[in-house]
Amino acid sequence: MVLTGLRGVGKTVMLNTFRSMALQRLWGTGKLEARPDQSIRRPVASALHMAVRELAPRHRAPDRVDDFLSVLKAFALRDPKAPKGSTVSAQFGIDVPAARGRADSGDLEVDLTELFSDAASVAADLGVGIALFVDEMQDVPAEDVSALCAACHELSQVGGPLIVVGAGLPHLPSVLSASKSYSERLFRYARIDRLDRAAADQALLAPAEREDVLFKQDALDALYEAADGYPYFVQAYGKVTWDVAAGSPITMGDVRMAAPEAEGELAVGFFGSRYERATPAEREYMRAMAAIGDEPVPTSNVAEELGRKPSSLSPARDGLIKKGLIYSSERGLIAFTVPHFGKFLRAQPV
């Protein structure tokens, strides 16, 4: 399964919830966060080591677990970018000797397929599964994406009890399909978006009711208008409103009093922290995007807004994509990864 959506819609929370569900079923679980320009070889090894460690105490054949750990060690040792002087034993606590001839070819696609197959075999012995969770999946390097898809495809063919659940920005499906055409059929895609009105109200009402606190209808109206249904914003405005409210029921006046503080916190922690990561040229590019509007905009329009040739803006655009501040929704179009980021930029002094 692959979850996609903008920043702040709850993808990581969903991954953690799925992981808890898997643990309740006594599955082995592991999680990693992809980073640009970093091979997934070691992060995957670490995540699978954690998953198998969860299964090991229940396994009837300790030698089978040790056999897998030796393959895991061999897999991790083939990382060409491992820091000098580092050891797998020190990082993972794997004391068994590294296997030879299994998951150690140096070809990530071959090695990952063999590693996944062996991990699934250990889980199958117990009649359970292994779930590997990959956050920020759009940042997995292109060659590694191809290897990951190939390994998942092989597992789907043989029915191995290991699943990969990824989460990333809205363009993640296109990243996967560009790598392997069959990825469109390989994963189940779920778009995580804004909450509808009933769900947004429930997010506020349910915890309040546990504390015997009510909301007036006009307060809920004002909170939904401010948050626009985005889960992170619902939480931000709801928290500050709760803090400033003198008692129950919470009123529209409480929301109005809380709004400036909530907006200030978002400007610093949610929007500002991301804006500060951008270079001056990248900030100029984003301000031009914001001036055009909040919908996905053609790159040619951004160039026109700045009075520049599109080719001269490629470094800024590519830098923003790499930093996860914008994404290409489709060829020739770009959009902010953060909801309401354009509104934030338009409110900033030039």
Q: Which of 217, 244, 274 is the last residue of a domain?
A: 274
Q: Do 145 and 120 fall into the same domain?
A: yes
Q: Do 11 and 153 fall into the same domain?
A: yes
Q: Per residue in 268-293, pLDDT tens?
A: 989 999 999 999 999 999 999 999 98
**Is 310 in contact with 300 (CB distance < 8 Å)?**
yes
Q: Per residue in 299-310, pLDDT tens?
A: 999 999 999 998
Q: Per residue in 12-47, pLDDT tens?
A: 999 999 999 999 999 999 999 999 889 999 999 999
> Which pLDDT does position 202 carry in this prediction?
97
SS3 130: strand
Lowest mean pLDDT among 49-63, 224-238, 280-294, 314-328: 49-63
Q: What domain count does the chain have?
A: 3
- Residue 296: give the domain boundaries: 278-346
pTM of the model: 0.87
> Which pLDDT does position 154 carry in this prediction?
92
Q: What is the CATH number of the domain that holds 218?
A: 1.10.8
**Cα(63)–Cα(24) distance, integer angstroms:** 26
pLDDT beyond 60 at 86? no
Q: Do 166 and 212 fall into the same domain?
A: no
pLDDT beyond 90 at 64? no
Q: Do 180 and 247 fall into the same domain?
A: no
Q: Do 90 and 136 fall into the same domain?
A: yes
Q: Do 52 and 91 fall into the same domain?
A: yes
Q: How confident is the model at residue 256 (pLDDT cuts 50, 70, 90)?
A: very high
Q: What is the CATH number of the domain that holds 28?
A: 3.40.50
What's the start-to-end Cα distance of the chain, in Å?
Answer: 42
Q: Do 179 and 204 fall into the same domain?
A: no
Q: Report CA-CA distances (Å) from 195 to 30, 249, 293.
A: 28, 23, 22
Q: Do 282 and 250 fall into the same domain?
A: no
